[in-house]
Structure formats: C-alpha cells, structure tokens
Amino acid sequence: MQVDAKRGIEVLDWVYPPVCEICGCGLGGGDALCEECSGKMLRIEAPFCDMCGEGFEGQIDGAFDCPNCREVSFHFEFARAAMLRSERVLDLVHRLKYGREVHLAGALGRLAVGAFSDRRLGVAMEEKWPLVPVPLHRSRQRERYFNQADEICRAIAEETGLEVQRLLKRVRKTETQTRLNRKQRMENLKGAFAVRRPWGREMKMPDTPGVILVDDVFTTGSTVDACAKVLKKVGVERVAVLTVMRG
C-alpha cells in the first residue's frame, strides 16, 4: 500500500509537534524557523563585493571589488551568499553538518534562495542553470551519512524548480581547511576534485550557459574555485557560486 507523503508529514507533526529551532515556538508545514526568527537574520544587501559577495558597511555608488579579490583571479564568475556571518546561522550550519540534523537543510536552503534577488542569479534562474553541490570525499560522507551541500541543493531546487546535477566528485581526501590561510587552502585542494562520469556512459553536460555551484559557507573561495576550475576544463562556460552564509 502506497503511503501518502503529505499525510505522513501531518501524522509526524501531530506526534512530534514542530518548533522553531531558535525560539522554540510552535510551527507547521515542515518549517524549522518561524517568520520572526528568520526575519531577524541579517541578509547581505548592497553594497557588497561583486566578485565574492563580501558585505561593505558604508556608502559606495555602483559595483566594486573588495581588496582581497583584486589580488586573486577566480575561475567562477561571481559568488553570492544570502546571509551575513552570524552565530545563529553558523549554529544552524554546524548542527546540520556535525550534529546530523538533516531537517535543517530545508531552512538553510530557503534562506539561500533569498540571494536570487541578485539580478545575476535571477538571470541564471531564468536560463535554468542547474544546481551543482560541492561534493564530499566518500570517506567523509560515510562518516556523516550525507553531504550538507547536496541537502541544501535539494531544498533550493524545491523552492526554485531548478534541476540538481551532481557533476563533481572529490577524489582526494584533504585536511580540514579551518585553520589554513587562502594560499594554504588552494594548495591543499589541488587535484581534489574531478568530473563524475557514470559507469558505462559519458556524463551529459548541462545544456545551459552555466551552472550554479552550491555550498554552505563561502570563506576564502578556495573550495568553490577548485570546483569551478574543473567544470571550466570540461566545457562549462560560466560558473556562479551560491552559499547560505558569507564566512
């Protein structure tokens, strides 16, 4: 007998009433954040760096690149995070990644969708660029049982209607990036990613002008740049980067 998914969710909500993950108030409809708590989180708004999405406190007329981006050349077109760094958003990301609270991916994905107000991502949505999650190494994924970028991708896809295409794989396990500077991170990631090729047939490349590379947090850009470099080598014309938070 086929179980109705919606009915199943309703039963679970009755047995385990959903509450906001921040304030604890009652919720419905599968949400993890109430409107008030979600509304209090700080979104990235102009002015911000056109390349990496770093926010700027002050007044600047027109587009600009921050000093960090003037010193480096990226393989992606631009990176756009939805949220400014905050303890609340970072806590949700950490609970998803390290606490295995996979249900939080939906809330984080919905926060990330706010970045589509950026005209450049708006164009990408109109042209139906696929969403490409940054992959985990298979050993890390076995430990965690899931890939947080993949789960966030699913949530973004549900909100936008864009397709998820898992084009990349991580072929080399690297040490954690947390305590490395930008130069060390880029060195650490050399040769870490490759294009995924399904067994017995060639992978079909996206029939669009570009793809949207998705991750949880953008810090120095070294991880998404390494991914973008691989995608460009196999013929992807343009790579945009979308993350939940700017680190």
CATH of the domain at 132: 3.40.50
Domain membership of residue 36 as a residue range = 1-40
Asked if 17 and 113 sit in the same domain, the reply is no
Asked if 78 and 141 sit in the same domain, the reply is yes
At residue 1, the pLDDT reads 38
Q: In whole angstroms, give the CA distance from residue 45 to residue 104.
A: 24
Asked if 5 and 110 sit in the same domain, the reply is no
Long-range own/partner contacts, residues 154-161 (CB < 8 A, 24 or more apart)? 154/105, 154/109, 155/105, 155/106, 155/107, 155/108, 155/109, 155/110, 155/112, 156/109, 156/112, 156/113, 156/131, 156/214, 156/242, 157/131, 158/106, 158/109, 159/109, 159/110, 159/113, 160/113, 160/116, 160/125
At residue 18, the pLDDT reads 83
At residue 93, the pLDDT reads 97
Asked if 9 and 116 sit in the same domain, the reply is no
Asked if 88 and 134 sit in the same domain, the reply is yes
Asked if 21 and 117 sit in the same domain, the reply is no
Q: In whole angstroms, give the CA distance from residue 60 to residue 173.
A: 41
Q: In whole angstroms, give the CA distance from residue 247 to residue 240.
A: 17
Q: In whole angstroms, give the CA distance from residue 83 to residue 233.
A: 30
Asked if 46 and 161 sit in the same domain, the reply is yes
Asked if 76 and 197 sit in the same domain, the reply is yes
**Mean pLDDT per 10-residue segment, the chain (247 residues):** 43 65 84 91 92 83 79 93 95 95 95 97 97 94 93 97 96 76 76 80 78 96 95 95 96
Asked if 184 and 135 sit in the same domain, the reply is yes
Asked if 26 and 91 sit in the same domain, the reply is no
Asked if 117 and 33 sit in the same domain, the reply is no
Number of domains in the chain: 2
Asked if 26 and 75 sit in the same domain, the reply is no
